[in-house]
């Protein structure tokens, strides 16, 4: 298995394979940065504006990662999986939802918040956009844990439950955010010219820590 591409969004920068694709030093906050990134890098996709902050981050990282990849032409759609890890689950929007019900006098729970109070919904958004029908799993871990990610992704490759996988770390706790995605493929077709490396724990840490 090989890591064939990476995408990283952190500190107001977007990196692909470690190279800066976009940065915005003027962005006043996370929301501002995410919005400008979307406008700069992605074609129109009205559903984006309905998403919560975690899904927006995951969606942007996936768009950058999957640009020009045409995965559904290379692999059966049910063998393209998403295995994502984070620490805070959907805490940012969880707090928004809790706010709407804290006071009985001002009580207005909203389905538009509630639907995002599950971390795997970000996987759903990426599957909808790309027509991926494969494995979905969200693992919760205090820190980025390449060992667990590697083992779980490896497991599903070994039993033929996946041929390609988008895997990594998508974290937004309302204060800090970071997205790091890797495209892992079972094999490379002849003619592909890519920066590749083995899917292994030291490599994953190396890629995660380079910016």
Partner 1 sequence: MHDVYVSGENVITSLGFTIEENIENIRNDVTGVRLRGDKKLFPEDFFASIIDSQQLDREFHSPEHKPDFTRFEKIMICSAEKALAENTHIDASSEKTIFVISSTKGNIDLLEEDKKILFEPDRVYLWKSAEIIAEYFGNKNKPVVISNACVSGVLAISTASEMLRSGWYNHAVVIGGDIVTEFVVSGFQSFKSLSFGPCKPFDLNRDGLNLGEGAGTILMTTRKEALPKGAIIKVLGGACNNDANHISGPSRTGEGLMLAVTRAMKNSGLTAEQIDFISAHGTATPYNDEMESKAFSAAGLCHVPLNSLKGYFGHTLGAAGIIESAIAIQGMKQNILFKTMGYSELGVTEKISVVDRLTEKTQKYIVKTASGFGGCNAAVILEKL
- Binding residues (CB under 8 A) for partner 1: these are 77-78, 82, 87-89, 91, 94-95, 97-98, 100-102, 104, 107, 109-111, 114-115, 117-125, 127-128, 130-142, 145, 148, 151-152, 155-156, 158-161
Q: Which one, 14 or 127, has the nearer CB to partner 1? A: 127
Distances (CA, A) of 26 to 12, 13, 65, 171, 179: 9, 11, 24, 22, 20
Helical (H) or strand (E) element with 138: strand 136-140
φ and ψ at 21, to 5 degrees?
Answer: -100, -35
Q: Which one, 12 or 92, has the nearer CB to partner 1? A: 92
Contact between 96 and 113 (Cβ < 8 Å): yes
Planar angle of CA 146, 149, 150, nearest 5 degrees: 80
User: Closest approach of Cβ 9 to partner 1, in Å?
Assistant: 21
User: Closest approach of Cβ 4 to partner 1, in Å?
Assistant: 21
User: Closest approach of Cβ 134 to partner 1, in Å?
Assistant: 6
User: Closest approach of Cβ 159 to partner 1, in Å?
Assistant: 6
118/184 Cα distance (integer angstroms): 25
Q: Which one, 149 or 207, has the nearer CB to partner 1? A: 149
User: Closest approach of Cβ 23 to partner 1, in Å?
Assistant: 30
Interstrand relation of 164-172 and 197-198 (parallel, antiparallel or unpaired): unpaired
Q: Which one, 156 or 208, has the nearer CB to partner 1? A: 156
């Amino acid at each position: 298995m090989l890591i064939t591409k990476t995408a990283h969004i952190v500190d107001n920068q977007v990196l692909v394979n470690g190279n800066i694709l976009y940065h915005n030093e003027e962005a006043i906050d996370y929301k501002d940065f995410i919005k400008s990134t979307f406008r700069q890098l992605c074609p129109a996709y009205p559903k984006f504006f309905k998403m919560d902050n975690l899904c927006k981050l995951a969606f942007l990282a996936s768009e950058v990662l999957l640009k020009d990849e045409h995965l559904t032409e290379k692999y059966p759609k049910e063998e393209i999986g998403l295995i994502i890890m984070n620490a805070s689950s959907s805490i940012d929007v969880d707090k928004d939802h809790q706010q709407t019900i804290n006071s009985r006098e001002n009580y207005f729970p909203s389905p538009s918040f509630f639907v995002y109070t599950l971390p795997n919904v970000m996987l759903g958004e990426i599957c909808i956009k790309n027509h991926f029908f494969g494995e979905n799993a969200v693992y919760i871990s205090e820190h980025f844990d390449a060992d667990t990610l590697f083992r779980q992704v490896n497991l599903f490759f070994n039993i033929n439950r996946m041929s390609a996988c988008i895997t990594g770390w998508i974290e937004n706790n309302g204060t800090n955010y970071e997205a790091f995605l890797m495209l892992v493929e079972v094999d490379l077709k002849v003619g592909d010219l890519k920066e590749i490396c083995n899917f292994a724990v030291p490599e994953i840490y190396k890629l995660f820590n380079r910016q």
